[in-house]
Structure 1
Amino acid sequence: MGKLVWAAATAHTGAMMRAPAGDNDDLERAQRVFAGFRTLGESLKAARPDVLIVIATDHFLSFDYTVLPIFALGAGERFDGWGEFGVPKRDYRGHAGFGAAVHGGMVDAGFDLVSARDMKLDHSFSCPLQLLLDGWDLPILPLYVNCTIAPLPSLRRCLDFGAALGDVLRRQQAIERVAIVGTGGLSHWVGMPQTGTINRDFDQRFLDLFTAGRCEQIASWNSDEVIDSAGNGAAEIRNWIMAAAAARSKGAKVLAYEPVAAWNTGIGVTELLL
C-alpha cells in the first residue's frame, strides 16, 4: 500500500532559472522565492519519498494540435528534458512499474488517462524539479494536464481527478512512499498583449482559499473568468488543486509569494498540510 508522505504546490516560469538584473527590489523578491524553494526541497528530502509525482503542463513541445490529450501520464523509465527557454537541460529517472499501476488504477476509476512513455519534459516540469532536486535525484512520475488549449478540463473535473489519484496511490503496491507536487500559475499572461501584468489581488484570493483547504470553492470558479482576470497562465491552478485533492490536504503554508516583474508572474511556493 502506498502512503503520501509529502505534498506541495508551486508556480513556475522558465525565466525563474535566471535571477533578475537591474532592479534590486525585484532581485530581493526573487531571492525570497529561491529561499522558499530551498526550504521546500529540504522538506522533500527529509520526507524520504520513493518517487515524486509532478503535475504540470506543456507549452507546445511534447503536445500540440496534432496530439492533444486532456490528461497524460509519463509511464516510462526515463524522461528527457527539452532544455528550452534557457532552462538547463536535465533528464530524470522514472519508475515504469509504478506508472503502469497508476495508469491502470485511473482508467479503472473512470478517467481516460493517456500513457505517454517517452514524454519529454518542458520547463513546466523542469523548473520546479531543478530547484527542488538541487544536488540530488529522485525518480519522478510526470502527469500532464492540458492547461493551454481549449477546451480545458473543468476545475471540478481536475479536483475529482486528484481525489481519484489519491485513492489509486494509496491502493497501489509498486511504491511505498509517494510525494506529489502541482505546479503552474499564478497570475500571468503568455504570448498576450497583457504579458507582464501580475494580478496580485487574484493571487492573494487564490492563496487565501488554497491555504485554508477550500479547494472545493476554487473548483466552483468559472474558468473563463479566471483566465480573463489573471491570464491564460492562471489556468494552471488546476495542477495545484489536483495535488491538494490527491494528498487530502488540510490546507497549506505559504513559503513564498512574490510578484516578480522580471519573470512576468506571481510566484507562489507552498507546502501542503497532510
Structure 2
Amino acid sequence: MPLAVCCVSHSPLLELPGPGPELLDEVGGALDRARDFVREFDPELVVLFSPDHYNGFFYKLMPPFCLGTAATGIGDYGTYAGPLDVPEHEALGLASALLDAGIDIATSAEMEVDHGTVQPLQRLFGDATARPVIPIFVNSVATPLGPLRRVRALGTAVGRHLATLERRVLVIGSGGLSHDPPVPRRATAPEPVLDRIVRGRPMTTEQRQARQSAVIDAARDFAAGDSALQPLNPDWDRAFLDLVDTGALAAVDDWDNDEITRTAGNSAHEVRTWVAAFSALAAQGSYRTDVRYYRPAPELIAGFAVRTARPADETNDDRSDE
C-alpha cells in the first residue's frame, strides 16, 4: 500500500521565546508545506522515528532501538502531555516482523516521549493524537552509538513490513541536522544531572523551568556568536541532504560516529531518524523528494531542514527554499 515520508528537524525553541519573527515565519512556511503534503496523502497510520533527550530513556537501560506499543507525551517545552493513539496490535505486529528480519528491536508498553516525538505530530497534524502512531525510538544521544548501517537496516525492515499492510502509512523522521545543543553528557555531567540521565530521576517543575531558561539563554548566546557550543556545519548538512535527495543512503554505512560528532556536533546523530525513514521508503523502490527546505538557524541551535517524499512515479515536484 502507499507509503510516504516526511522528515523534519525539531527544536524546543520553536515553542519558546527568542527566535525572531522572520525565522519563525520562514520555518513555519516550510512546515506548512509539509503539512499540506501530509494532508493530501491522508495517512491512516503513522510510523515515527525519533530520538529522546533523557526524558524517556536513560543510561540505566539504553537500547539502540525501541518500539512503543503504548506511549505518553511528557509535555516538555510546551508540547502535548498525555497518551498518544498507539494501535497495540499493529505495533506488536511490526515488532515481530522486525525481530523476524534480524533487527534486535526492544519494545515498551509504557514509552514516554518528549518534544522530539510530539512536536512533529503537532506541527503536521495540529494535534498529537490526530492519527494512530507507532513510535520507534532511535538512540541518537547516549554513547556508545551503533553503526549507521544498522539504522538503515532497521528502516529497510520497517518499510518491507509496511508494504504488506492495507493502509496508507506516513513515515516520519524527527531530528537533525548539524547541532550541538546543551544536552548533558555522561562523561562530564555533575552528580545531580547523572542522577537524571543515568537513573531516570524525574525532574521537578522548578528544574524543568530552569532547563528551559538555560536553553533560551544558550540559543541567544549562540546566535550572537558568544558561545562555546560547536558551530553549525551547513556544508555537512547539505551533503547529507544530497544523499537523501538522490537516494544514495548506502553511503552512510561506513560513516564514523566520532567523525560525525567532530564535524557536525553531538546531536547531529539525530540524522539517524532520517536514515531510517528514507530507508523505509527506499525498500519499496526509487523515490523523489518534494518539499525541500534547509536553513542554518543559530537561533534554533540547529541546521533546520524539511523533506517530504513519495515513490518516484507518484511524486509532484515542489522544490523550494534552497
Global fold match (TM > 0.5): yes
2:58 alignment partner, SS class: coil
Q: Say which of 204, 212, 220 aligns to 2:246.
A: 212
Are the counterparts in 2 of residues 254 and 268 from structure 1 also a CA contact under 8 Å? no
* 1:85/1:19 CA distance change after superposition, 3 Å: closer
1:52-100 CA-to-partner distances (Å, cap 9, x unmatched) read 1110011111110111111100112xx3211113435354211111101
Matched, 1:164 2:201: no
1:142 is aligned to: 135
1:273 alignment partner, SS class: strand
1:54 is aligned to: 48
Between the aligned partners of 1:251 and 1:160, the Cα distance in structure 2 is 20
1:32 is aligned to: 26
Matched, 1:224 2:216: no
Letter in 1 for 2:163: R
Matched, 1:201 2:242: no
Matched, 1:245 2:279: yes
TM-score (norm 1): 0.89
Are the counterparts in 1 of residues 33 and 291 from structure 2 also a CA contact under 8 Å? no
1:189 is aligned to: 180
Deviation of residue 14 (structure 1)? 1.2
Matched, 1:177 2:153: no
1:106-147 CA-to-partner distances (Å, cap 9, x unmatched) read 011111211112101111111111111115811111000111
Letter in 1 for 2:3: V
Letter in 2 for 1:158: V
Are the counterparts in 1 of residues 177 and 305 from structure 2 also a CA contact under 8 Å? yes
1:166-190 CA-to-partner distances (Å, cap 9, x unmatched) read 111123x4x5221101111101002
Deviation of residue 243 (structure 1)? 0.6
2:49 alignment partner, SS class: strand
Are the counterparts in 1 of residues 178 and 233 from structure 2 also a CA contact under 8 Å? yes
Larger Rg over CA atoms: 2
After the TM superposition, which segments of 4 or more aligned residues of structure 1 sit over 4 Å from their partners? none
Deviation of residue 28 (structure 1)? 1.9
* 1:231/1:133 CA distance change after superposition, 3 Å: same
Between the aligned partners of 1:18 and 1:35, the Cα distance in structure 2 is 18
Are the counterparts in 2 of residues 254 and 269 from structure 1 also a CA contact under 8 Å? yes
| More displaced stretch, 217-226 vs 6-15 | 217-226
Matched, 1:45 2:43: no
Are the counterparts in 2 of residues 4 and 247 from structure 1 also a CA contact under 8 Å? no
Give me the identity figure in percent: 28
Are the counterparts in 1 of residues 63 and 106 from structure 2 also a CA contact under 8 Å? yes
1:44 alignment partner, SS class: helix
Letter in 2 for 1:235: H
Between the aligned partners of 1:228 and 1:187, the Cα distance in structure 2 is 10
Are the counterparts in 2 of residues 90 and 126 from structure 1 also a CA contact under 8 Å? no
Unaligned runs of 5+ in 2: 184-226, 312-322
Between the aligned partners of 2:256 and 2:290, the Cα distance in structure 1 is 25
Between the aligned partners of 2:294 and 2:120, the Cα distance in structure 1 is 15
Aligned-residue RMSD, C-alpha: 1.9
Deviation of residue 19 (structure 1)? 6.2
Between the aligned partners of 2:17 and 2:35, the Cα distance in structure 1 is 19
Matched, 1:13 2:40: no
Are the counterparts in 2 of residues 187 and 230 from structure 1 also a CA contact under 8 Å? yes
Between the aligned partners of 1:63 and 1:223, the Cα distance in structure 2 is 20
* 1:228/1:251 CA distance change after superposition, 3 Å: farther
Matched, 1:118 2:155: no
1:136-163 CA-to-partner distances (Å, cap 9, x unmatched) read 8111110001111112121111111111
Q: Say which of 244, 255, 260 aligns to 2:292.
A: 255
2:203 is aligned to: none
Are the counterparts in 1 of residues 15 and 77 from structure 2 also a CA contact under 8 Å? no
2:57 is aligned to: 63
Between the aligned partners of 2:173 and 2:34, the Cα distance in structure 1 is 13
2:113 alignment partner, SS class: coil
Count how many residue pairs are aligned between Structure 1 and Structure 2: 264
2:69 alignment partner, SS class: coil
